[in-house]
Amino acid sequence: MTGSGFSTAFVLHPASALHDPGWGHPEHQGRLRALAGAVAADMLALHGRVAQIEARSATEEELLRVHTPEHLDQLRRLADRAMEEERSIPWDSDTLVSAASWDAAVGSAGAVLSAVEAIIQGHVRNAFVATRPPGHHARAHRAMGFCLVNHAAVAARFVQDRGWGKRVLILDWDVHHGNGTQEIFYDDPDVFYLSLHQFPHYPGTGSAGERGRGPGEGFTRNIPLRPGTPREVYRESFFRALEEVREGFRPDFVFVSSGFDVLAGDPLGDQQVEPQDLYEFTRGVTAWAEEVCGGRVVVLLEGGYVPRRVGEGAVAVIRALAGLEAPEWDASPRQG
Ligand SMILES: [Zn+2]
């Protein structure tokens, strides 16, 4: 990719599409197909502003900044076994490993690092990365909640290790609490974790009282929201939380864990958010990032289990990143 006219990178590692927990699993291969199809269908609007860039895989060394060697060994072992037995192997009750899962997870993490590199090299200002499987439940030492590798965490450490930023904000609007991300940075004052999520809900963590530990105290902020929270209340909560974080933290780089399961109608969530809201949230985040860190924002895909809605959400977020108008929604509105 050449030229500096592009504002936004769209990144998808080809292996991400091959992770295969089965079509009966909510996190099936159709999610990414729908996302890529929706982005392709919007190319007329995105043309000249959004460029697809190649993704590399993460190295073992980059993954080891977050995950234990035992965790990576186990992931590789289960993927090998899945290949031999020609079936997906359960890691826990809802997390499956298929033959392609190692490549998908390591490719997805690498895709986020490729996005960071493209921003640092000045090819683009920001990026959207279609990671799969999702990452925010993955803990340092174990997979969990469909997640194998914590892409956002690996990317935050990568930014720090390369000396491209000290303070990193990870903003997570997936409908579930990102327990893995929170845990990895719980005592770290340089990585602020802000999460809005349904509560009580899977995985059970994310109460307002969880605020970090030791030097990291005050650098975790959880906004638990009741099932069925009215759309306006969610919007107000989002902008208030962003304002609060703004007052106390000045990031050098921003990652957004974007779960489209926060959208109304998702089978694994019960919130009323619409793609238009995510468009405005993204505009709010990028406007702040333009002020404090040269607009360095990478949005990465977490959950979202209605494929059509994953596509709509991704287009809304990408349009906002690229500074384009919000899409006109032709689907019948579901005002909450
Ligand atoms: Zn989720």
Residue 139: domain span: 8-321
Number of compact structural domains in the chain: 1
Ligand 1 geometric centre to CA of 177 (Å): 7
In a domain, 332, yes or no: no
pLDDT of residue 1: 40
pLDDT of residue 330: 60
pLDDT of residue 331: 53
In a domain, 314, yes or no: yes
Ligand 1 geometric centre to CA of 310 (Å): 12
Surrounding ion ligand 1 within 5 Å at CB are 174, 176, 259, 261, 303
What does the block give as tokens for 41? Answer: 């269908």
Listed in sequence order, the residues at least 6 apart from 156 whose beta carbon sits closer than 8 Å to its beta carbon are 168, 170, 185, 191, 253, 255
What does the block give as tokens for 301? Answer: 């895909």
**Of 14, 42, 119, whose CA–CA distance to 313 is shortest?**
42
In a domain, 326, yes or no: no
Residues 136, 137, 151, 201: which is the catalytic one?
137
What's 162's domain CATH number? 3.40.800.20
**Of 168, 169, 88, 95, whose CA–CA distance to 135 is shortest?**
95
Ligand 1 geometric centre to CA of 31 (Å): 13
In a domain, 333, yes or no: no
In a domain, 2, yes or no: no
Ligand 1 geometric centre to CA of 72 (Å): 23
The DSSP bridge pattern shows strands 253-258 and 96-97 to be unpaired
Ligand 1 geometric centre to CA of 145 (Å): 8
Q: How far apart are CA 304 and CA 132, in angstroms?
A: 11
Ligand 1 geometric centre to CA of 304 (Å): 6
pLDDT of residue 73: 98
CA 83 and chain centroid, separation: 28
**Do 221 and 241 meet the contact criterion of CB atoms below 8 Å apart?**
yes
CB atoms within 10 A of CB 198: 23
pLDDT of residue 336: 39
In a domain, 15, yes or no: yes
pLDDT of residue 329: 73
**Of 105, 150, 130, 132, whose CA–CA distance to 53 is shortest?**
130
In a domain, 286, yes or no: yes
Ligand 1 geometric centre to CA of 302 (Å): 6
In a domain, 1, yes or no: no
Query: Catalytic site residue 151?
Result: no
Regions of the chain short of the pLDDT cut 70: 1-5, 330-336
Ligand 1 geometric centre to CA of 123 (Å): 31
Ligand 1 geometric centre to CA of 121 (Å): 32
